[in-house]
């Protein structure tokens, strides 16, 4: 049932995407002034791919409606369950950390610092558990700092010195 509902959404998204592709293909230049063969113009293949995707999108939607996938149940309870699921929380945290690192940190901070910070924060946030005593906390912190420093230094050195990449 969940899949039928997901297929309904994907089907609609696919139809919109393929319509967009078909319209764009139509708008692509025909290069008449160059006297090129009308079947070699840039839009031919994109239109073909767009039409195939349109067909697939329609099939997905029809199939999903037959299984009742268009009856959407959006309510607070569903959302709460989604966010309370521990796997989804870990997923969200991973997504925020990784994207924050690659979109905001890289390029603003020096590469080694950004990378070290990212690894440190990642390990600390995921390994932080309630009920750990002071010694365990300190041990976790020290090993996280060590991993962060070592991996950041190793990756920076290898790419900068060995592969001669000018790091961001």
Partner 1 sequence: MTVLIDNLARFLSAIAGFITPLAIFHIAWSTLLGIIIGALPGLTATMGIALITTLTYKLSADLAILVLICVYVGAIYGGSRTAILINIPGTPANAATTLDGFPLAMQGLAGRAMGVATSGSVLGSFIGMFFLATIAPILGNYALKFQSYEFFWLAIFGIVISGHLTALEDPIKGWIAGFLGLLVAMVGQEGIHAYERFTYGTTELLGGFALIPAMVGAFGFAEVLTVMQNPPAKMADAPRDSVFPKILDVLRYWRTIIRSGLIGTLIGIIPGVGEDIGAWVSYAAARRKSKEKEKFGKGSIEGLMAAETGNNSVVPGAIIPALTLAIPGSAPAAVLLAAMFIHGLRPGPLIMVESPQFVYQVVAMVFFATLAILIYGVGLSKLLLKVLAIPKTRLMPVVFVLCAIGSYAITSRLFDIYVMIGFGVVGYILRQMKYPMAPLVLGIILGDLMDKNLRRGLVLTDGDLTPFFTRPICLVLWLITFSSIILSIDPLRHALQKAFHKVWSGSRRLFSYR
**What phi and psi values does residue 167 have, to the nearest 5 degrees?**
-70, 155
Report the C-alpha gap between 3 and 6 in whole angstroms: 5
Report whether 40 contacts 32 (CB < 8 A). Answer: no
**CB 75, min distance to partner 1, A:** 21
Minimum CB separation of residue 167 from partner 1 in Å reads 8
Q: Would the CA dihedral through 34, 40, 44, 45 be positive or negative?
A: negative
Stretch that binds partner 1, among 56-64, 71-79, 131-139 (CB under 8 A): 56-64
- Using CB under 8 A, pick the residue from 4, 56, 141, 145 that binds partner 1: 56
Q: Give the E-state strand segments of 1-140 in sequence order.
A: none
C-alpha 79/C-alpha 139 separation (Å) is 37
**Which residue in the set 1, 3, 82, 142 belongs to the binding site for partner 1 (CB under 8 A)?**
3
Q: Report angle CA 48, 49, 51 to the nearest 5 degrees.
A: 65
Taking residues 118 to 157 in sequence order and writing x for each that binds partner 1 by CB under 8 A, - otherwise, the string is xx--xx--xx----------------x--x---xx--x--
C-alpha separations of 49 from 45, 54, 62 in Å: 6, 9, 20
**Least separation, in Å, of the C-beta of 103 and partner 1?**
7
Binding site for partner 1 (CB under 8 A): 3, 6-7, 10, 14, 21, 24, 28-29, 31, 34, 36-42, 44-46, 48-50, 52-53, 56, 59-60, 86-88, 90-91, 93-95, 97-99, 101-103, 106-107, 115, 118-119, 122-123, 126-127, 144, 147, 151-152, 155, 158-159, 162-168
């Amino acid at each position: 049932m969940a899949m039928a509902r997901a297929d309904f959404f994907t089907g609609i998204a696919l139809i919109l995407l393929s319509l967009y592709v078909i319209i764009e293909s139509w708008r692509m230049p025909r290069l008449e002034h160059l006297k090129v063969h009308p079947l070699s113009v840039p839009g031919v293949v994109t239109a073909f791919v767009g039409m195939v995707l349109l067909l697939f999108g329609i099939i997905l939607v029809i199939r999903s409606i037959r299984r009742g996938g268009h009856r959407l149940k959006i309510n607070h309870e569903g959302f709460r369950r989604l966010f309370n699921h521990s796997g989804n929380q870990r997923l969200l945290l991973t997504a925020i950390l990784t994207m924050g690192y690659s979109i905001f940190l890289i390029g603003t901070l020096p590469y080694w610092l950004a990378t070290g910070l990212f690894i440190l924060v990642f390990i600390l946030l995921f390994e932080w558990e309630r009920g750990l005593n002071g010694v365990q906390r300190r041990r976790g912190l020290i090993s996280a700092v060590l991993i962060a420093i070592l991996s950041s230094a190793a990756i920076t050195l290898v790419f900068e010195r060995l592969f001669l990449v000018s790091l961001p």
